[in-house]
Structure 1
Amino acid sequence: MNSTLPASGPAISLQNVSRHYGSIKAVDNISLEIEAGSFVALVGLSGSGKSTLLKMINRLVDPAAGQLLIDNSNIEDTDPHILRRQIGYVFQNIGLFPHMTIARNIAIGLELAGANSGKDDRVAELLDLVTLPPEMATRMPHQLSGGQQQRVGVARALATRPGLMLMDEPFGALDPVTRDSLAGQYKTLHETLGLTSVIVTHDMAEALYLADRILVMESGQIKADATPAQLLSGDVGEEAEALVAIPRAQAAHLIALGKGS
């Protein structure tokens, strides 16, 4: 398995994947394919299984049944630590190492992969990519705002040039203005770098704005698999309609902002 997108076939394939916690069906016999270059959002109420499904992709959680392939390779054939170095992962609490400089936080994945040559240049490139000034490299995490820290989190996830990015509520802890700004910037990165992105979000407006495909989950199952336009049309089932009803206006606002940028 490598960190580039596959020449053919889906980037991710789930085949009858399940994960239960006692009597709770967190993920219940899901089969789906995610094409390379797509931006997929997993949405649903708390406990619907979306975060468990995301974590199974990089083996933070292993399936109890079924199999999961990335780039046509079964992930169980790859050491979990090696697999995770090949997949970018961004989460809500950011998880920067407080005792390390921003440069070291960004470069930690490169160091673990033994890719120390050109490390400083890569850090400088990534800071520019996430619109942070070069002087940020020598600062400590506590000296940055929440939005700046999340930009560092994105830079760290991109350091090893993964083709696949997983994002678990990445902007959920930020204020609305910062959240909208970072979401727009990440969407540009996704398109510019040709990434495959999978995001878990509780914010339906964010999903409608960012993703080209939205999976609505309930009780460990996918209840709707649709484009933003299909969801906004209101013809995708009761579960999806309940989630879409409130944020339609907000999503339209975000989409208008994106077209104007």
Structure 2
Amino acid sequence: MKLVLTNVSLSVRQDSQDKEILQGVSFGVRLGVIHTLLGPSGSGKSTLLYAINRLREFQRGGITLDGEDIRGINVYELRRRIGLVMQKPIFFPGTVGDNILYGPHLWGKDNSLTLADPKHYLEMVQLDPAWVSRDPNTLSGGQQQRVSLARTLANNSEVLLLDEPTSALDSQACVHLETLITSLCQERKLTVIWVTHDVHQAERIAQDVTLLYHGKAVEHGESKHFFAGPTTVEGKAYLAGKLGGES
């Protein structure tokens, strides 16, 4: 397993009380597959992504990357190895090229990552290399998501965390991004954890599925088995559109 989560629990302080967002979440993520996180709004999917690269710190349980506790890995190294693409792209000041090389330049001029050509990564995500000098804020939503993906790939990330990357895109841009990420996963042996509310998208792209509900991983397994016949009450209700979110 590339990633293993064991009894991961995370609470936040709300109205002078501790509210548990994740409750003893356990599952493994296989190397080189697309693994989708499903569940209604408020089930903890995005929080779990942020816990995996320590944007949110969990209080109990553990997460390992290639068998190593992520809390023993330098946090900047961890976030290089585990890249996050958010639902709405956020860019640093500068050009498309500046953004793509932002991460590698943090590692210093002696690091081989700084020798990367940003045009190479634009080609990798099927964008015009000439756009390297453009302002990323002038691009369409789908193009911005691909620049965000190129920025993550430039870090030589081993794991991609995708937080509903296609939710704001039209159907054509959505299909393009799905196809691109599926190809990159196969070509580069990337491990992808993809949060989505779109059951049909998960069925198209995923090899494995975890269903979260009220902060718990209530069902986990290969997507073909899950979509053919979930084994839990929650899984059956979710596919039937009858599993509600948090109040």
- TM norm structure 1: 0.85
1:31 aligns with 2:26: yes
2:96 alignment counterpart: 102
C-alpha separation between the residues in 2 aligned to 1:42 and 1:117? 34
| Aligned: 1:175 with 2:166 | no
Letter in 1 for 2:52: I
Identity, % of aligned positions: 34
- Do residues 160 (structure 1) and 133 (structure 2) align? no
| Change beyond 3 A, Cα 1:236–1:23 | farther
What is the correspondence of 1:47-62 to structure 2 with a 5 Å cutoff? 47-62=42-57
Q: Deviations over 1:199-233 (max 9, x none)?
A: 11111111111110010110111111132221222
Aligned counterpart, 2:3: 12
Q: In the aligned structure 2, how far is the partner of 1:229 from the partner of 1:78?
A: 34
Change (3 A) 1:242 1:164: same
Q: Separation in 2 of the partners of 1:56 and 1:121?
A: 29
Report the Cα offset of residue 154 of structure 1: 0.5
RMSD: 1.8
Q: Could you say which residue in structure 2 is the equivalent of 1:123?
A: 118
**Shift of the alpha carbon at 1:78?**
2.0
Q: Which amino acid aligns with 2:151?
A: R
SS at match of 1:151: helix
Gaps of 5+ in 1: 1-9, 247-261
Q: Secondary structure at the match of 1:51?
A: helix
* 1:183 positional shift: 1.1
The residue type paired with residue 16 of structure 1 is: N
- Amino acid in the other structure paired with 2:239: V
Contact 2:108 2:114 in 1 (8 A): no
Q: Deviations over 1:134-167 (max 9, x none)?
A: 1110100122111111110000011021111111
1:196 offset after TM fit, Å? 0.8
Q: Which whole-Å CA distance do the structure 1 matches of 2:187 and 2:112 have between them?
A: 25
Render the CA deviation track for 1:4-27: whole Å, top value 9, x for unaligned: xxxxxx211112211123453311
Alignment partner, residue 182 of structure 2: 187
Q: Secondary structure at the match of 1:60?
A: coil
On the 8 A contact 1:25/1:219 being kept in 2, the answer is no
1:51 offset after TM fit, Å?
1.1
CA–CA separation in structure 1 for the residues paired with 2:82 and 2:180: 20
Unaligned regions of 5+ residues in structure 2, if any? Answer: 242-247
Q: Deviations over 1:65-114 (max 9, x none)?
A: 111111211111123223112222111111122x3100001110111122
- Cα distance in 1, alignment partners of residues 90 and 31 from structure 2: 27
How many Å separate the matches in 1 of 2:3 and 2:52? 8
Letter matched to residue 127 of structure 2: L
Alpha-carbon spacing, 1:11–1:235, altered in 2? closer, same or farther (3 Å)? closer
Shift of 1:120: 6.4
